[in-house]
Amino acid sequence: MNQNLVTERIDYINFIQSFAVTLVVIGHSLPRLNGTDTMPLWANIIYDLIYSFHMPLFFVLAGFLLMNSFNRQSQSIQTFKHFIHNKFIRLIIPYVSIGSLAYLLKVFVFNRFAYRPASFDIVFYIKSMIVPGANPMLALWFLPTIFIIYILSYVVLKNDNCIKSNLMLWLILSFFVSLLSNYTHIQLLNISGVLNYLFYFFVGTIIFHLKNSLIKILSNTGFLLFIILLFIEIQMIPISCHNCINFILKYIVAILGIFMSFSIAIYCSNHNHKFLWGLIDGKYYQIYLLAWFFQCGIRIFYQIEAINYITVCFLMFIASFIFPIFITNIIKRHLPKLKIFIGL
């Protein structure tokens, strides 16, 4: 493979990873108004825009990067045992360690101010580990969900011949499974979430295989402007009373947001622009894992009315980058044995 294509691919994927985790940070930096379950109108608009596509984007990236790793191995795909071991270390150990720390801090420090208080008992703790939606740090639900998707997808993706001949079929099947998941409520191990997001994972594998053609289309300035306008326009469509229409619109908006993200990333990479000047490149996973602790701590100052809403949003946003990056650097340099717990 041409080395320039490899470098270009890494650049725009790094851009999207940094962009995606920043969307997470923004979404988590918009607390509820004191004494209510709502946010200001402007915050609701931002929140709805972000949540319409940012989690599907993460699963697309996972599928894309898995295919990229298989491609680099030149047909020599690691054994299932080795593959799962690596994913377990990368995903489940941080899930348990960070989730346990969040549980303890919520019980002993944050409970009074928490939106979802935790109980100090073993049953609650075990449930919070095996039911990701009950985890004290709700954002961690992504880790066991993508871990299970990796297990399911390995069987399909490990065979190169199967990839080329049947990947589109798996994409179509996963779409119908995703539609059906809207009627399931299996919270254990977030099985409903696995069924829902499996589709976007396969979208990522398709994007990888079509990347050379897509780059030419997505790097076009006219296309970028068109897809941004279309994304915003569809967001303005009133919610229908028909669930099937809402489901379809949900997928359309998510796919548009995904291609919009790729288009922006490719355009910026072609012009040597890094997201946030490259300050968080390679640190997005640690930001995702650690930002919650500082966001919760700062939010308390708003809840006790020491600062106003705009100020708390700004401070939560800034702290989500500064402190996780600082802690990551400390662990790298002085506490290397702890690296495994933050996905390093």
Q: For 130-148, what is each residue's pLDDT tens digit?
A: 999 888 898 999 999 999 9
- Write down the residue that tokens 């990522």 correspond to: 204
User: Average pLDDT for residues 260-275, to the nearest whole number?
Assistant: 90
Query: Which stretch of 37-46, 185-194, 237-246 has the lowest confidence by average pLDDT?
Result: 237-246
Q: For 306-321, what is each residue's pLDDT tens digit?
A: 999 999 999 999 999 9
Distance (Å, whole) CA 201 – CA 91: 16
Whether the full predicted model's pTM is greater than 0.85, yes or no, is yes
- HSE (CB half, 13 Å, CA atoms) of 135? 28
Distance (Å, whole) CA 99 – CA 88: 15
User: Average pLDDT for residues 212-234, to the nearest whole number?
Assistant: 87
Distance (Å, whole) CA 151 – CA 208: 19
Count of all residues that appear for the chain in the document? 344
User: Average pLDDT for residues 117-131, to the nearest whole number?
Assistant: 89
- Give the model's pLDDT for residue 245: 64
Query: Which stretch of 51-65, 69-83, 132-146, 292-306 has the lowest confidence by average pLDDT?
Result: 69-83
Rg of the chain over CA atoms, in angstroms?
Answer: 20
CA 313, 318, 324, 328: dihedral to nearest 10 degrees? 170
Position with higher pLDDT, 70 vs 270: 270
Distance (Å, whole) CA 319 – CA 311: 12
Cα distance from N-terminal residue to C-terminal residue, the chain: 28
Distance (Å, whole) CA 335 – CA 332: 6
In this prediction, residue 3 has a pLDDT band, given cuts at 50, 70 and 90, of very low
- Give the model's pLDDT for residue 110: 86
